[in-house]
Amino acid sequence: MPWDEMNNIAAHVLANLTSGMRFEGSLNVDLNEITMNLVPFPKLHFLIPSLAPLCSFSDVKFEPRSLDQMFNDAFHRDFQLIKANPRASKYLAIGLLVRGDVNIAEANRNIARIHKDIDMIHWNQEGFKVGLCGTPPRGQRHALLGLSNNCCIRNTFHAILERFEKLYRRKAHLHHYTQFIEEDLVGAAHEGVQGLIEEYTALEHVVPPPEESFERFQPVR
C-alpha cells in the first residue's frame, strides 16, 4: 500500500476519533472520556485501533457494510491498524465510536452479541465505552472506530524489544541518540518496555477469585 494511502487511513481514524467534538450526537464522547474509561492503569494506555469500513479518504468505491457486519469487522484482526490478535487474548476495556444514524439500542444489541465471544477481564465485564455521533463520514452511511485495550499488545512490544536488543548489542546507530541523551536513558527505556510486557502478561493470566461472581454486560440505559 502506498504511503499516502496509509496516511489517509491514519487520518480517517483521527477524524472518527474526534467526530464527537465536531458534530452533534446522541451520545458523544471526547478524548478525556476515552482516557478515563479505557485506561485502568496509568502505564497501560496503549490502544489497538480498528476501523470499519477500512478505507482511506481517496477510496471512491468500497463495499458497503451493514451495522452488524461493521461490529464484527471492528473485532477482526484484518481491520486493525496493529498486527495483533485481540480475540486470542484478554480485553481490559473497549471503546466503540459509531458514526451515522445509529441508536443506543442497536449498539447495545451488537455489543451483547459480540461480548459472548470475547474474553473480558473479570473485574471489568461492563468495560465498554460507546460513542454515537449522528454525522457519518462523507460518502458512507455508517462508520465504526474500535479502540481496544488488550493484553495482546505485549507481543508488539516484545517484537520491538527483540529488534532493539539485536542492534543494541552491536551499539548500532547508538551514536545518533547519545548526541542528545545519556546512554543510561536508553537502558532505562529498555527496562520500561520490559515492565510493560510483564504487566500485560500478568493481567493476561489473572484468574478471577472463585468466591466472586461477575455479571455479564448490561446495556446502557
Under a CB-based contact definition with an 8 Å cutoff, are residues 157 and 197 in contact? Answer: yes
In eight-state DSSP terms, residue 79 is G
Q: How far apart are CA 100 and CA 217, in angstroms?
A: 24
- Point out the catalytic residue in the list 5, 33, 106, 204: 33
Under a CB-based contact definition with an 8 Å cutoff, are residues 89 and 152 in contact? Answer: yes
Among this protein's residues, is 182 annotated catalytic?
no
**Contacts for 70-73 with beta carbons within 8 Å, 24 or more apart?**
70/142, 70/143, 70/144, 71/96, 71/110, 71/111, 71/113, 71/114, 71/144, 72/114, 73/144
Q: How far apart are CA 156 and CA 46, in angstroms?
A: 11
**Residue 157 grid cell:** 512490544
To 10 degrees, the CA torsion angle through 193, 194, 196, 198? Answer: 170
How far apart, in Å, are the Cα atoms of 2 and each of 56, 58, 66, 81?
Answer: 11, 12, 28, 15
User: How big is the chain, counted in residues?
Assistant: 221
3-class SS of residue 2: coil
Active centre residues (catalytic): 33
